[in-house]
Amino acid sequence: MEAVVALLVMLLGVSHGVEIICDVQQEGGAQCYGALGGTVILKMKDRSPARFEIRKNHRAIFRWANNNVSLNTIENRSLFTPSAGTFRINNLIKSDSDEYKLKISDSGGMTLLDQTLRLSIQAPVSSVQLVSKCLSQGEMRVSCVSEGGDSLQYRWTLNGRTLTEDKLLSGTHETDNITLKQDVSGSLGCSVKNHVSDRETVEIISTCGFIFIDCIDSNETHISQWVFAANNTLCVDPTTKAPDTTVDPSLICGVQTAVAALLFIGIAAYFAWRKNKSQRAEGSAIPRAREYPETSVEMV
């Protein structure tokens, strides 16, 4: 028997598509997914069953009993391995999506497994790329374009983190088209996946060349908007408001008065110092009278 199984493996070969293992012993029924053109392996039990039957849409497509296959409507695409308790379906096609009934019994006819399996075949995503376009006000429209794939789910990232709503003008991080705000730049990534594939692409994006100006122009008009930097003539400094350079005349007058007063006080202090110094010099030049003239030598 093992030689027959080996021969079937050689004849069928190995699928070049995605291979997915599905455990059909889940409580309440199993939901399995297979990749279009790939392989799904139905995992049942780790021992050889005495009887095994698969029904698709209430019609039998496979039967195993007494170590022999008595029915197999997909013989050219399937392989049953009793010792491993697995049933392999290769080269999956869309029509394989359906509800299946799997029933395993022992040699005495007692049911060991009676399970419902819902199998869904999805096309895998083959490639992903970003397509961007600058809009009139500097916004950037970005589309996540993928080839192939069914029931796709999208996820956007910016610099390795989930793209947050404050970076978006429209869309969400779970849609295929988004509109970024004018100042958003960095490493933008988009991942596309379904139950049988997952692909991602990352590109470095820069702004569309717009800047936000908030200023007062020469006509005393307040301007606050996004403009294309290369053609901007609205403000001298497009990043800040123009400063008010008008000086109050009373302030100038007060400063001038204070300066004049300080100058006058300084001159007066200088001349007083000179006068005091001169008087001290004259006093030191006159001989001081003796306290007792009658005893002095000069009087004698």
Contact predicate 190/201, CB 8 Å: yes
What pLDDT does 93 receive? Answer: 95
Is residue 282 situated within a structural domain? no
Q: Using the 8-state DSSP alphabet, how is residue 240 labeled?
A: S
Residue 101: strand pairing partners: 55, 116
Give residue 256's pLDDT.
74
pTM of the complete model = 0.64
Residue 205 and residue 186: Cα distance in Å, rounded? 5
Give pLDDT, residue 210. 84
- Kindly state whether residue 292 falls inside one of the protein's structural domains: no
The strand pair at 86-89 and 78-81 is best described as antiparallel
Nearest to 216 by CA among 189, 243, 196, 194: 243
Shared domain check, 73 and 43: yes
d(CA 62, CA 77): 12
Query: Which of 205, 236, 270 is where one domain is finished?
Result: 205
Query: Is 106 found in the same domain as 84?
Result: yes
State how far the Cα of 61 lies from the Cα of 101, in Å rounded to an integer: 10
Q: Are residues 55 and 141 in the same domain?
A: no
Residues of the chain with pLDDT under 50: 1-16, 238-243, 245, 288-300
Domains contained in the chain, number: 3
* 109: alpha, beta or left? (left if phi > 0; alpha if psi -120 to 50): left
pLDDT of 281 reads: 62
Assign residue 37 the CATH number of its domain: 2.60.40.10
In terms of domains, do 115 and 175 share one?
A: no
In a domain, 194, yes or no: yes
Domain stop point among 122, 141, 171: 122
**DSSP per residue, 83-138:** TTTEEEE-S--GGG-EEEEEEEE-TTS-EEEEEEEEEEEEPPEEEEEEEEEE-TTS
Predicted pLDDT of residue 196: 94
The DSSP line for 45-89 is -SS--SEEEEEETTEEEEEEETTEEEEETTGGGEEEETTTTEEEE
Shared-domain flag, residues 118 and 28? yes
Distance CA 63, CA 87 (A): 11
pLDDT (0 to 100) of residue 110: 85
Neighbour count for residue 254 (Cβ, 10 Å): 11
DSSP assignment string, 162-231: EPPGGGEEE--TTSSEEEE-TT--EEEEEEEE-SS-EEEEEEEE---SEEEEEEE-TTS-EEEEEEEGGG
The per-residue pLDDT for 237 is 54
At 208-221, the pLDDT tens digits run 888 887 887 777 77
Domain endpoint, select from 205, 238, 268: 205
Retrieve residue 60's tokens.
Answer: 């039998």
135 and 232, same domain (yes or no): no
Is there a domain that residue 258 lies in? Answer: no
Does residue 72 fall inside a structural domain? yes
| Beta-carbon contacts of residue 9 (< 8 Å; ≥ 6 apart) | 79
Same domain, 108 and 18: yes
Looking at the structure, do residues 171 and 231 belong to the same domain, yes or no?
A: no
* Domain hosting residue 196, numbered range: 125-205
Mark whether 109 and 157 lie in a shared domain: no
Amino acid found at 127 = S
128-155 pLDDT, tens digit per residue, is 999 999 998 899 999 999 998 899 999 9
